[in-house]
């Protein structure tokens, strides 16, 4: 708003906005604080804010004395793998639908989105059995495939809305100037499409990293990523609060940082371009 | 540019996506439908056979099913109401001329990136725990008995946790929409003496309609399948007090190992999702046109 607000009003709204934002953020902050406390300090009553015994020990313990690095690595492989595989299949499809639209393109896009509305529990049993029989159960490859298929409609939709904004005239102009198809792809299309592909990739890594249904159903220990690991960390009963917090902080920090970088694209990505 | 050969090429480029999505949808659905009419328990694999509609009637006659159905709709509805109303209010607040708006956005969006099991575990252990949680400390500070959130108000607690996760998403979208609202229109209304409430009612709210619709559509897709939060906190209990349809089916399949019955539940969930999807698609379809 261009209107100059009175300093008093600006002060009050700033105060209120920061208060609300801190309340929303507080659970994450409290978890991070707890992760740096000793176990005794973490459950002290009344709660200790600044007077706590601070330590890095929890991070060392979690990293060295559990299978944490394996869960972390599984998360990386599964989220990045499923996203790259999804992009490989989705880019040509979104490309074709954006630049060579047919009469049925819109119906096709709708149908793809509708597969996303199929409840995961409905396909859980067959998938569970198929995975058991084919040896995909509790393997990284199995989860890469499952999460790729789960997110494919979103990947296609996001790419479609990005590609749609590349003006077709530019392609025609390049062709008029005698650019070969190869030159057209390398020098005209790719540079224009790259930002859209990059933000699609970022958002889908986030979605796959945080997925907590298929990862719980389709793994036991070998291929379990962080989401399944934390979910099974049942009832830590007081004594392990600080370590649980440290494990949780390590599980969300990479994605939190990625997410902060991609928050602008998040809106248009997840609303399929309806809100920009 | 659409010659015959480019059309053919375009079809070939779309084909792999259509093929894998079709397989992903139709094969499990056909298998689920088949299992839903069969006796199939993993613990007694030697017994099998057709059972007709037995599994379906079991669900329809089970009070737990109707409770789960209610819980599913209450969870989706509750979270939608909370996130849309609070989201609009918070977006309006942050959209005011405030100091450090960029940092505010970063703080507000954070919960959206917290994976469901971690979000659930933070709330369960660090806040709602009857002995060590922050809420119980606050209650005791006031000399009151700590509230047993997950024991006495399990569904409300789950709704609260999920709302916390999705509030940032709603807020961010409303904020983006608000920032495209022209300030001249608001100023003109203000000069003409329109009260803040009227300005909200006649200018801001109509401008937000599209964003609100989109938030409802997208959130419903994700909320119908809420699982990790329940799995981590209440496990659907106590009893079935916080069991949703997805969680009930999960229990039948993984805990009771009754594949046939769980499959029938899956088909019921598909029907429910289709009813919801029918209304959603009409909404999204309208937005795709303009």
- Whether A110 and B285 lie within 8 Å, measured CB to CB: yes
With cut-offs at 50, 70 and 90, classify the pLDDT of residue B284: low
The whole-chain average pLDDT of chain B stands at 86
Query: Residue A2's pLDDT is what?
Result: 42
Total tally of structural domains belonging to chain B: 1
Q: What is the DSSP string of B164-175?
A: HHHHHHHHHHHH
Q: How is chain A split into domains, by residue range?
A: 7-59, 68-232
ipTM of the complex: 0.86
CATH code that applies to domain A68-232: 1.10.3720.10
User: According to the model, what pLDDT value does residue B287 have?
Assistant: 56
Q: Is A233 helix (H, G, I), strand (E, B) or coil?
A: coil
| Per-residue pLDDT, B290 | 46
**Is pLDDT above 60 for B289?**
no
Q: What is the CATH number of the domain that holds B150?
A: 1.10.3720.10
Reduce the DSSP state of residue A54 to 3 states and report it. Answer: strand
Of all residues in chain B, the percent with pLDDT exceeding 90 is 28
Q: How many CA atoms lie within 13 A of B41 on its CB side?
A: 9
Q: Which residues in chain A land under pLDDT 70? A: 1-5, 233-239, 273, 276
Query: Which residues of B fall within a CB distance of 8 Å from A238?
Result: 131-132
Residue of A68, A144, A149, A83 lying closest to A116 (CA atoms): A149
Closest-CA distance, B198 to chain A, in angstroms, reads: 18
Average pLDDT over residues B228-240: 84
The closest alpha carbon to A115, from B253, B221, B249, belongs to B221
Nearest CA in chain A to B185: A1
Q: Which domain holds residue B120?
A: 62-289
Q: Do B115 and A252 touch (CB under 8 A)?
A: yes
Please check whether residue A102 touches B, CB under 8 A: yes
Q: DSSP 3-state assignment of A254?
A: helix
Interface test with A, best of B7, B16, B17 (most A CBs within 10 A): B17
With respect to residue B74, please indicate whether it lies within any of the assigned structural domains. yes
Q: Test A20 with B246 for CB contact under 8 angstroms.
A: no
Determine, yes or no, domain membership for B46: no
DSSP line for A147-166: HHHHHHHHHHHHHHHHHHTS
Cβ neighbours for A214, distance < 8 A, ≥ 6 positions apart: A120, A143, A146, A147, A150
Look-up of token digits 């989201």: B87
Is residue B227 a part of any domain in this protein?
yes
Chain A residues with beta carbon closer than 8 angstroms to that of B254 = 217
Which chain B residue lies closest to A96 (C-alpha atoms)? B10
Q: What is d(CA A223, CA A131) in angstroms, rounded to the nearest whole number?
A: 13
pLDDT of residue A233: 67
User: Least CA distance to B16: which residue of chain A?
Assistant: A89
Nearest CA in chain B to A130: B28
Decide if A26 touches B, using CB distance below 8 A: no
What is the tens place of the pLDDT at every residue in B57-89?
998 998 999 999 999 999 999 999 999 999 999
Pairwise CB contact (< 8 Å): B31 & A129: yes
Q: Decide if A247 contacts A75 (C-beta within 8 A).
A: no
Q: How do residues B135-154 score in pLDDT, each as one tens digit? A: 888 888 888 888 888 888 89
Indicate whether B7 belongs to any domain: no
Q: What pLDDT sits at residue B71?
A: 94
CA B247 to CA B154: how far, in whole Å?
Answer: 14
Q: What pLDDT shows up at residue B73? A: 92
Determine, for residues B246 and A123 on separate chains, whether the beta-carbon distance falls below 8 Å: no
Residue B1 has pLDDT above 60, yes or no: no
Phi, psi of B115 (to 5 degrees): -65, 145
């Amino acid at each position: 708003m261009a209107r100059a607000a009175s300093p008093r009003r600006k002060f009050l709204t700033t105060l209120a906005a920061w208060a609300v934002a801190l309340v929303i953020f507080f659970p994450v902050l409290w978890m991070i604080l707890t992760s740096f406390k000793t176990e005794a300090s973490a459950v002290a009553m009344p709660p200790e804010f600044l007077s706590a015994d601070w330590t890095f020990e929890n991070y060392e313990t979690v990293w060295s004395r559990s299978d944490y690095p394996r869960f972390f690595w599984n998360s990386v492989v599964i989220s990045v793998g499923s996203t790259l595989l999804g992009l490989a299949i989705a880019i040509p499809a979104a490309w074709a639908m954006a630049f060579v639209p047919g009469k049925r393109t819109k119906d096709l896009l709708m149908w793809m989105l509708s597969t996303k509305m199929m409840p995961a529990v409905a396909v859980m049993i067959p998938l569970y059995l198929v995975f058991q029989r084919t040896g995909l159960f509790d393997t990284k490859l199995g989860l890469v495939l499952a999460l790729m298929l789960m997110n494919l409609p979103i990947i296609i939709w996001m790419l479609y809305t990005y590609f749609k904004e590349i003006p077709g005239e530019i392609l025609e102009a390049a062709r008029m100037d005698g650019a070969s198809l190869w030159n057209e792809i390398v020098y005209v299309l790719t540079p224009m499409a790259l930002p859209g592909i990059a933000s699609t990739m970022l958002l889908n890594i986030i979605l796959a990293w945080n997925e907590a249904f298929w990862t719980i159903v389709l793994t036991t220990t070998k291929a379990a990523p962080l989401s399944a690991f934390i979910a099974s960390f049942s009832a830590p009963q007081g004594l392990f609060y600080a370590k649980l917090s440290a494990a949780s902080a390590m599980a969300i920090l990479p994605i939190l940082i990625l997410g902060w970088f991609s928050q602008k694209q998040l809106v248009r990505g997840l609303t399929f371009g309806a809100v920009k | 540019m659409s010659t015959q050969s480019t059309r053919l090429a375009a079809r070939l480029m779309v084909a792999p996506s259509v093929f894998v999505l079709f397989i992903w949808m139709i094969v499990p659905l056909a298998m689920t439908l088949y299992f839903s009419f069969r006796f199939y328990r993993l613990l007694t694999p030697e017994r099998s056979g057709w059972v007709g509609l037995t599994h379906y009637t079991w669900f329809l006659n089970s009070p737990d099913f109707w409770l789960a159905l209610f819980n599913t709709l209450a969870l989706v509805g509750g979270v939608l109401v909370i996130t849309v109303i609070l989201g609009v209010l918070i977006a309006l607040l942050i959209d005011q001329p405030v100091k450090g708006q960029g940092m505010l956005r970063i703080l507000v969006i954070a919960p959206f990136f917290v994976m469901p099991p971690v979000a659930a575990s933070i709330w369960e252990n660090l806040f709602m725990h009857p002995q060590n949680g922050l809420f119980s400390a606050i209650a005791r500070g006031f000399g009151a008995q700590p509230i047993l959130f997950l024991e006495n108000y399990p569904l409300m607690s789950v709704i609260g946790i999920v709302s916390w996760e999705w509030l940032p998403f709603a807020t961010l979208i409303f904020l983006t929409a608000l920032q495209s609202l022209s300030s001249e229109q608001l100023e003109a209304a203000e000069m003409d003496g329109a009260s803040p409430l009227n300005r909200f009612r006649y200018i801001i709210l109509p401008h937000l309609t599209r964003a609100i619709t989109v938030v409802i559509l997208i959130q419903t897709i994700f909320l119908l399948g809420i699982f990790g939060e329940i799995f981590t906190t209440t496990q659907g209990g106590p009893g079935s007090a916080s069991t949703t349809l997805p969680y009930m089916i999960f229990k039948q399949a993984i805990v009771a190992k009754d594949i046939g019955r769980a499959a029938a539940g899956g088909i019921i969930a598909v029907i429910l999702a289709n009813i919801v999807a029918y209304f959603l698609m009409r909404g999204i379809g309208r937005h795709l046109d303009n």
